[in-house]
């Protein structure tokens, strides 16, 4: 019995120690994303952008003459100890020189990766993450957010709703959000704004994920007859069933889906049926036509590799890798983490649409060359109709009054 | 297994675990995994005690763990109680809830108990995220992001220096397993076996099913809640994401590998399962498939887990000697 | 107000019919063999994925053909799962917990296999019937009508089968008294496997029926399992009639609580009612075969 136990322990140890040996002719970067569980699809979107950037650099001769080697880590469902484990594995054990994440734990990630020095790029879009950062800016100097917070995105959604070339029949709004951190952040911001503008928020409902039967809520909505219904549940199943059940007997309401328009299945499943829905993507490459020729070339290349349009996060994650590469090239040594971080924070990076500049909280604030894009589904595809801030129409694309609104 | 053999077995396991930091002490990542192994070994042992020995299909172990971790975090933050004491208060609180959940369960059978206890797990998420939770200080959907680290006699145990915390938890885990061992050895253990084998007969002899079952609910939820508190002060952050199906399944696999009702199988099971899980991690989405397949094969091929295998080997050896 | 309440009742009825269909299979296996199937939700998703595959082939692009082809596949699958995984465990003392564990492992295996094979994104099926029925203020989509009729029809046919056919009667005999049934020559082992197979067909068919409204996702079966579990326990494990009542009570409860108090309260209300019921009647509403 003892022998078996000892043998098993030795095998276990061998496995665990084995990972330590690695060559020094490559630069390792950590990629902690969700590869299993409910967040797999978003993890996949980030990975496509990161992979594209790394392949591009390796094909172009590598970084400082060395190949970049991505090391993936399955963040699963972002349980606190899993996030910590990821940081300890990638930064502590493998000593990677940068970490490219997406949704990474809404604040826990700042704690976990802030213990190390390697630049860390996340797409949390969460005020909580920024609040954690502010507690100790020096310690968390290596943390960079690729998107603006939920509060600012909610603000932007509101700005565009008010800027639409459309006359609202009344000043009543309904807000339905998921009961997660993102949903509440956006929902509260919208509610505050509506109230300030003299609107009445007739209903503010939190719903759990997995809600498919909207009958009871729609009954209430049909009685309220609001001018705007905002739905913020980042899961295709819920928002499609909501839309279909709403359409059985629609009210004269603009349907604003915010970030919930993003899951690709919404447009793929419904096609032209979804025409009229509006929503937003932060740190976005506006589609179908990109703002600059370089951006258009990037879009075409992405479509060439992955055979579909980029989804939320792909371009942000791609740009994170590129920003880090630019900084490393300028500093001349990937191991000088602090200098690389300072370079990113002060100099920024020039991307396909223009300059990326991180603010003093290391957040890539929306605006300038990288605004939030607001879309409407037209003819079965997401069309950018506005960019914000400042809220202005995008190119020649026009808002169309949804077909269910009767004069 | 005979009690004496269990004791020896347990001593060997803990002896081996005690020296692991000698090999891995320099790698925080592995130390972190080992600490998690210690935590899960306690939770799984408690589950084994209630399910394997007492024969109560309680599925609320993860819920009690989360309740313990949240309450310890809240007690230490709101009432200013040092974490050393708050973990025990959290344990007592969880034990109270455990008894509360246990009361209706004792009238029920099999899958019903599983459902009622799992219901606690299901309801916990909306409660922690909702208005009630926010009023208590759970931080709603955001969770709790700052939890004071464990501090004993002025020494602070932080997660960036895991070796001291490892030994602290090691001590806790050893104490917990000794308590469980004592329960199995004592009058309780015999009563459970009697109740499991022939409940009606046992109660005729005066073994009170009610009393023992309620006591086991109290004890396991106390230990689970307390170790939840240790988890909270170690990780320093909490969110409702622990209530996903992942942790529940992992604990179940620990029991499958270790052997149900085969204490200290759950302890070995915890170390093996977590290690296997980490080794499979590079396979990405294939990991849970392999894990699921492994459970199916193990339940069929090794119904009593690793402990059952050892038992078999041991008894064969003995037979060989006597020939 | 009146119109609103009618609206809520309608959505309660639709919910109820869906839940009834989900719960019948689970209550059946438990009633007959006392085995609790954790992979039940995965079988539900399997129905959806089989239909998705069949719809990919233009020749089978019809619900009638899909149902006819999916049923035998599910039947055979269910039968062999029982024979290979559950039956060998039966002779052990602690087989109940072992069955829970093995089916949990199977669920993990199946759900993640769907994810690898079909991808993490949700899949959709064409609508079984388009359009809706309008009467003044009320609107009922044909899709919901079809689901309602199919669920109730399926359950009634199933009840008829149990009460009037030889196989059905032997299933009931085994449920009531396994040892006695064996003495009179009913092949117990076969009945166990057959029930498991029938319940797989029922939940898989339910999966197809509901997937055209609610879509298919790799882990989508978990919600179904939990709902079905609650309803079976509420109605009395093993009681089809009880399950039917429970399904409609739960459907109505959810609709009214969601409408009056808000969606986040439905789960809490559901379990509160369940606990109260079980405290008064530990065997559920109708904890007997029937």
**For B25-38, how does the pLDDT look when each residue is reduced to its tens digit (9 = 90+)?**
888 888 989 999 99
Tell me the pairing of strands A172-178 and A200-207: parallel
Chain C, nearest residue to A43 by Cα: C120
- Rounded to whole angstroms, what are the CA distances from B187 to B193, B194, B198, B204, B266? 10, 11, 16, 17, 22
For helices C188-214 and C142-164, give the axis angle rounded to 10 degrees: 170
The whole-number average pLDDT for the span B111-140 is 87
The β-bridge partners of A26 are A67
pLDDT digits (tens, 9 = 90+) for A159-173: 999 999 999 999 999
Confidence grade of residue C23 (pLDDT, cut at 50, 70, 90):
confident
pLDDT at A78: 86
Q: CA-CA distance, A365 to B240, in Å (whole number)?
A: 29
End-to-end CA gap in chain A: 82
Cβ(A337)–Cβ(A235) below 8 Å: no
Chains in contact with chain C (at least 3 beta-carbon pairs closer than 8 A): A, B
User: Which burial class, exposed, middle or buried, applies to C159 when counting CB atoms under 10 A from its CB (0-12, 13-18, 19+)?
Assistant: middle
**Residue B289 contacts C, CB cutoff 8 Å:** yes
pLDDT at C61: 77
Q: Do domains A23-145+297-356 and A151-283+372-393 have the same CATH topology?
A: yes
The whole-number average pLDDT for the span A21-49 is 83
- Is B300 within 8 Å of C106 when comparing Cβ atoms? no
Closest CA to A34 of A95, A79, A69, A92: A79
Q: How far from the centroid of its chain's Cα atoms is residue B256's Cα? A: 14
pLDDT at B207: 66
- Is A216 within 8 Å of C141 when comparing Cβ atoms? no
Q: CA-CA distance, A394 to B94, in Å (whole number)?
A: 56
The whole-number average pLDDT for the span C120-142 is 83
Chains in contact with chain A (at least 3 beta-carbon pairs closer than 8 A): B, C
Q: CA-CA distance, B30 to B37, in Å (whole number)?
A: 10
- Is B114 within 8 Å of C104 when comparing Cβ atoms? no
Q: CA-CA distance, B9 to B266, in Å (whole number)?
A: 12
* CB neighbour list of residue A243: distance below 8 Å, 6 or more residues apart: A255, A270, A273, A274, A277
Q: What percent of chain C has pLDDT over 70?
A: 98
Confidence grade of residue C200 (pLDDT, cut at 50, 70, 90):
very high
User: ipTM value of the model?
Assistant: 0.88
pLDDT at A234: 87
Q: What is the DSSP letter of C132?
A: E
pLDDT at A154: 94
Given a cut of 90, whether residue B5 has pLDDT beyond it is no
pLDDT at A17: 47
Report the residue of A11, A16, A20 to disrupt the B interface, i.e. the one with the largest count of B CBs within 10 Å.
Answer: A16
The whole-number average pLDDT for the span C238-250 is 88
Q: CA-CA distance, A226 to A237, in Å (whole number)?
A: 23
Chain B nearest CA to A30, separation (Å): 12
- Rounded to whole angstroms, what are the CA distances from C154 to C10, C161, C209, C287, C288? 20, 10, 11, 22, 21
Given a cut of 60, whether residue C230 has pLDDT beyond it is yes
The minimal CB distance from B295 to the residues C104, C115, C282 is found for: C104
Confidence grade of residue A19 (pLDDT, cut at 50, 70, 90):
very low
Q: CA-CA distance, C101 to B125, in Å (whole number)?
A: 24
Identify the CATH homologous superfamily for domain A151-283+372-393: Response regulator (3.40.50.2300)
Report the residue of C129, C216, C258 to disrupt the A interface, i.e. the one with the largest count of A CBs within 10 Å.
Answer: C258
Cβ(C237)–Cβ(C27) below 8 Å: yes
User: Tokens 């049934």, residue?
Assistant: C181
Q: CA-CA distance, C222 to C241, in Å (whole number)?
A: 24
pLDDT at A21: 42
Chain B, nearest residue to C262 by Cα: B130
* CB neighbour list of residue C184: distance below 8 Å, 6 or more residues apart: C173
The minimal CB distance from B313 to the residues A1, A8, A180 is found for: A1
- Rounded to whole angstroms, what are the CA distances from B310 to B1, B5, B10, B295, B320? 10, 11, 13, 18, 15
Local structure of A188: helix, strand or coil: helix
pLDDT at A12: 52
pLDDT at C289: 43
Q: Which CATH architecture has domain A23-145+297-356?
A: 3-Layer(aba) Sandwich (3.40)
Confidence grade of residue A148 (pLDDT, cut at 50, 70, 90):
very high
* CB neighbour list of residue C177: distance below 8 Å, 6 or more residues apart: none
User: Which burial class, exposed, middle or buried, applies to C4 when counting CB atoms under 10 A from its CB (0-12, 13-18, 19+)?
Assistant: middle
The β-bridge partners of B155 are B152
Token pair belonging to C161: 């089968």
Cβ(C243)–Cβ(C250) below 8 Å: no
Residues on chain B touching C111 (C-beta within 8 angstroms): 288, 292
Report the residue of B60, B295, B298 to disrupt the C interface, i.e. the one with the largest count of C CBs within 10 Å.
Answer: B295
pLDDT digits (tens, 9 = 90+) for A185-244: 999 999 999 999 999 999 999 888 888 888 888 988 998 999 999 999 988 889 999 999
pLDDT digits (tens, 9 = 90+) for C163-195: 888 888 888 888 888 888 888 888 888 899 999
Backbone angles phi, psi at A254, to 5 degrees: -75, 130
pLDDT digits (tens, 9 = 90+) for A279-301: 999 888 888 888 999 999 999 99
Closest CA to A366 of A387, A386, A382: A387
Cβ(A236)–Cβ(A243) below 8 Å: no
Across chain A, mean pLDDT equals: 89
Chain B, nearest residue to C36 by Cα: B111
Across chain B, mean pLDDT equals: 87
The whole-number average pLDDT for the span A374-396 is 91
Q: How far from the centroid of its chain's Cα atoms is residue B107's Cα? A: 25
Closest CA to B238 of B317, B103, B142: B142
- Rounded to whole angstroms, what are the CA distances from A80 to A118, B59, B140? 20, 22, 15
Given a cut of 50, whether residue B112 has pLDDT beyond it is yes
Token pair belonging to B2: 């005979």
Local structure of A167: helix, strand or coil: coil
pLDDT at C107: 94
The minimal CB distance from A72 to the residues B271, B279, B284 is found for: B284
Confidence grade of residue C85 (pLDDT, cut at 50, 70, 90):
very high
Cβ(C188)–Cβ(C206) below 8 Å: no
Domain parsing of chain A, residue ranges: 23-145+297-356, 151-283+372-393
Closest CA to B47 of B261, B308, B269: B261
The whole-number average pLDDT for the span B1-7 is 78
The whole-number average pLDDT for the span A40-65 is 92
């Amino acid at each position: 019995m003892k022998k078996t136990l000892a043998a098993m322990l030795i095998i276990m140890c061998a496995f665990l120690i084995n990972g330590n040996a690695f060559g020094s002719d490559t630069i390792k970067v950590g990629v902690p994303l969700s590869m299993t569980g409910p967040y797999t699809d978003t993890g996949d979107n980030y990975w496509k952008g990161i992979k594209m950037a790394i392949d591009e650099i390796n094909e172009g001769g590598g970084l400082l003459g060395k190949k970049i080697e991505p090391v993936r880590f399955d963040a699963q469902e972002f349980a606190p100890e899993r996030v910590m484990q990821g940081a300890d594995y990638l930064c502590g054990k493998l000593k990677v020189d940068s970490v490219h994440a997406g949704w990474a734990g809404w604040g826990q990630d700042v704690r976990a990766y802030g213990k190390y020095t390697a630049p860390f790029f996340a797409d949390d879009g969460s005020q909580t993450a920024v609040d954690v950062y502010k507690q100790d800016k020096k310690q968390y100097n290596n943390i960079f957010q690729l998107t603006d917070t939920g509060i600012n995105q909610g603000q932007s959604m509101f700005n565009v709703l008010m800027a639409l070339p459309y006359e609202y029949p009344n000043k009543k709004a309904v807000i339905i959000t998921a009961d997660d951190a993102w949903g509440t952040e956006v929902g509260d911001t919208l509610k505050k704004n509506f109230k300030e503008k003299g609107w009445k928020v007739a209903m503010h409902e939190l719903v759990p994920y997995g809600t498919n039967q909207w009958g009871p809520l729609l009954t209430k909505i049909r009685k309220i007859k609001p001018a705007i219904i905002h739905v913020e549940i980042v899961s295709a199943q819920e928002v499609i069933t909501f839309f279909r059940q709403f359409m059985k007997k629609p009210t004269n309401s603009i349907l604003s889906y915010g970030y919930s328009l993003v899951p690709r299945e919404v447009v793929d499943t419904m096609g032209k049926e979804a025409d009229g829905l509006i929503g937003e993507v932060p740190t976005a490459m506006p589609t179908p036509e990109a703002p600059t020729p370089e951006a258009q070339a990037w879009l075409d290349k992405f479509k060439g590799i992955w055979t579909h349009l980029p989804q939320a996060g792909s371009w942000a994650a791609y740009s994170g890798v590129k920003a880090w590469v630019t900084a490393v090239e300028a500093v001349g040594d990937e191991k000088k983490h602090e200098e690389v971080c300072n370079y990113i924070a002060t100099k920024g990076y020039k991307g396909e649409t223009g300059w990326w500049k991180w603010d003093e909280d290391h957040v890539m604030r929306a605006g300038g060359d990288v605004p939030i894009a607001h879309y409407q589904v037209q003819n079965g595809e997401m069309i950018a109709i506005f960019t914000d801030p400042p809220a202005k129409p995008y190119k020649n694309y026009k808002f169309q009054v949804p077909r269910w609104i009767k004069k | 297994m005979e009690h004496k053999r269990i004791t020896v077995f347990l001593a060997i396991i803990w002896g081996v675990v005690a020296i692991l930091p000698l090999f891995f002490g320099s790698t925080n990542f592995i130390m972190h995994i080992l600490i998690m192994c210690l935590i899960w070994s306690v939770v799984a042992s408690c589950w084994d005690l209630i399910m394997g020995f007492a024969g109560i299909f309680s599925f609320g172990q993860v819920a009690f763990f989360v309740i313990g971790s949240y309450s310890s975090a809240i007690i230490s933050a709101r009432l200013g109680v040092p974490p050393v004491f708050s973990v025990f208060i959290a344990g007592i609180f969880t034990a109270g809830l455990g008894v509360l959940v246990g009361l209706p369960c004792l009238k029920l059978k099999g899958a019903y108990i599983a459902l009622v206890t799992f219901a606690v797990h299901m309801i916990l998420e909306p409660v922690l995220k909702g208005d009630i939770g926010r009023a208590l200080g759970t931080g709603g959907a955001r969770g709790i992001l700052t939890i004071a680290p464990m501090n004993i006699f002025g020494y602070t145990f932080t997660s960036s220096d895991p070796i001291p915390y490892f030994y602290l938890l090691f001590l806790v885990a050893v104490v917990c397993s000794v308590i469980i061992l004592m329960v199995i050895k004592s009058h309780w253990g015999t009563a459970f076996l009697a109740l499991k084998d022939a409940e009606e007969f046992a109660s005729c002899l005066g073994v009170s099913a009610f009393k023992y079952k309620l006591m086991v609910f109290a004890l396991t939820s106390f230990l689970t809640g307390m170790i939840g508190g240790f988890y909270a002060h170690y990780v320093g952050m909490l969110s409702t994401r622990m209530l996903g199906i992942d942790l529940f399944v992992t604990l179940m696999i620990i029991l499958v590998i270790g052997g149900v009702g085969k204490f200290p199988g759950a302890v070995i099971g915890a170390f093996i399962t977590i290690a296997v899980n980490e080794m499979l991690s590079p396979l990405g989405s294939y990991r849970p498939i392999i894990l699921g397949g492994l459970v199916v094969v193990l339940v069929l091929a090794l119904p009593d887990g690793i402990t059952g295998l050892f038992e078999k080997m041991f008894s064969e050896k003995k037979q060989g000697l006597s020939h | 107000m009146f119109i609103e309440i009618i609206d809520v009742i309608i959505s309660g009825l639709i919910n109820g019919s869906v839940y009834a269909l989900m719960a019948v299979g689970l209550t059946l296996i438990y009633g007959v063999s006392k085995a609790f199937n954790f992979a039940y939700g995965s079988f539900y998703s399997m129905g959806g994925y089989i239909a998705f595959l069949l719809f990919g082939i233009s020749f089978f692009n019809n619900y009638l053909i899909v149902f006819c082809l999916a049923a035998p596949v599910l039947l055979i699958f269910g039968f062999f799962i029982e024979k290979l995984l559950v039956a060998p465990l039966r002779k052990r003392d602690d087989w109940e917990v072992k069955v829970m564990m093995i089916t949990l492992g199977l669920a993990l295996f199946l759900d993640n296999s769907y994810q690898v094979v079909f991808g993490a994104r949700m899949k959709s099926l064409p609508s079984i019937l388009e359009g809706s029925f309008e009467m003044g203020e009320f609107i009922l989509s044909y899709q919901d009508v079809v689901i309602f009729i199919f669920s109730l029809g399926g359950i009634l046919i199933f009840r008829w089968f149990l009460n009037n056919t030889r196989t059905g009667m032997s299933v009931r005999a085994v449920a009531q008294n396994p040892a006695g049934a064996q003495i009179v020559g009913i092949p117990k082992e076969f009945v166990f496997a057959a029930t498991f197979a029938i319940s797989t067909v029922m939940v898989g068919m339910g999966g197809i029926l509901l997937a055209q409204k609610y879509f298919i996702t790799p882990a989508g079966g978990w919600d179904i399992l939990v709902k079905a579990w609650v309803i079976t326990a509420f109605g009395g494990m093993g009681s089809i009639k009880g399950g039917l009542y429970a399904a409609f009570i739960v459907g109505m409860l959810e609709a009214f609580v969601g409408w009056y108090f808000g969606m986040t309260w439905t789960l809490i209300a559901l379990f509160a009612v369940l606990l109260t019921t079980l405290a008064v009647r530990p065997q559920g509403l109708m904890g007997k075969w029937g």
